[in-house]
Amino acid sequence: MRTKEVSVLKAHDLKCVKGSTELFSNVHFEVQSGEALVVEGSNGSGKTSLLRILCGFNYPAEGEISWNGTSIDGHESYQQQISFIGHASGVKLDLTVLENLIFAQRLVGSDRKEEEIKEIIRKVGLFKQRNILTRKLSAGQKRRVALARLQLEERQLWILDEPLTALDRDFVTEFEIVLKKHLEKKGMLIVTTHRELVLPAAQMKRINLSN
């Protein structure tokens, strides 16, 4: 469940090496509750690698990452505050849209009623498809299922790698409203995207890994 505390994620002097190639180095940033960080850079600059490091999937070659002043390495309460969506949507193809979200909420210990889940499905424009196996959906519809899951998990830190891929402009506008509400509730967002997100400028920070 989302923490009610004001939180701070800090990265200091991060370096990432893949094989014999240095992707980035000397990366610093700080994100607080209510803020969004947009990670920019050319292809191959290490954007996805940085997000995977922040999730704890990989380790940096150098540098430190802290959550409220404590290293994220082995920090269980930090891991409990992360929702991650990568290039793959991460949905269960042999479950229906509704079953995917019911399953997702059980994993995080949420107790929303089925009607509440259906309302979230309605908001992402998949109510007519709620009982269809996810494998039969388009790429954009699968992405919508993953983004609906964010709203069920109720985590403070959303780490999203190209979340707008295969989505039409109308839905992107709706999703921006979801992101704004997340930040208003003292949520945090770290995102890579080739499409510009419309969010309050005062809440947005940027880093460019190509610099």
Here the CATH number for the domain that contains residue 52 is 3.40.50.300
Predicted local confidence at residue 106, as pLDDT: 83
Are 3 and 65 contained in the same domain?
yes
- Helix (H) or strand (E) holding 24, with range, is strand 21-32
Last residue of a domain, one of 111, 128, 154: 154
Q: Containing domain of residue 70, as a range?
A: 1-81+158-211
Q: Are residues 37 and 11 in contact, defined by beta-carbon separation less than 8 angstroms?
A: no
Domain boundary among 154, 175, 194: 154
Q: Per-residue pLDDT tens for 103-122?
A: 988 887 777 888 999 999 99
d(CA 11, CA 97): 36
| 39 and 20 part of one domain | yes
Provide the 10 A C-beta neighbour count for residue 148. Answer: 23
Domain shared by 128 and 102, yes or no: yes
Regarding pTM above 0.85, the answer is yes
Please choose, from the candidates 34, 39, 33, the residue with its C-alpha nearest in 3D space to the C-alpha of residue 14: 39
- Tell me the three state secondary structure of residue 92: coil
Domain boundary among 154, 184, 201: 154
pLDDT of residue 2: 61
- Do 73 and 141 lie in a common domain? no
Task: Clarify whether residues 150 and 162 are in a common domain.
Answer: no
With residue 37 as reference, give the H or E element that holds it.
strand 36-40
Domain count, the chain: 2
Contact call for residues 90 and 146 (beta carbons, < 8 A) = yes
19 and 33 part of one domain: yes
Q: 75 and 166 share a domain?
A: yes
Q: For the segment 34-64, what is each residue's pLDDT rounded down to a tens digit?
A: 999 999 999 999 999 999 999 999 999 999 9
Burial class from Cβ neighbours inside 10 Å (0-12, 13-18, 19+) for residue 100 reads: buried
Q: Are residues 73 and 121 in the same domain?
A: no
What pLDDT, on the 0 to 100 scale, is given for residue 3? 63
Same domain for 62 and 162?
Answer: yes
58 and 4 housed in the same domain? yes
Tell me the two tokens of residue 22.
Answer: 């240095």
- List, for the chain, all residue ranges whose pLDDT scores fall below the cut of 70: 1-4
> What does the alpha-carbon distance between residue 22 and residue 33 come to, in Å, rounded to a whole number?
31
Could you say which DSSP state residue 154 is in?
-
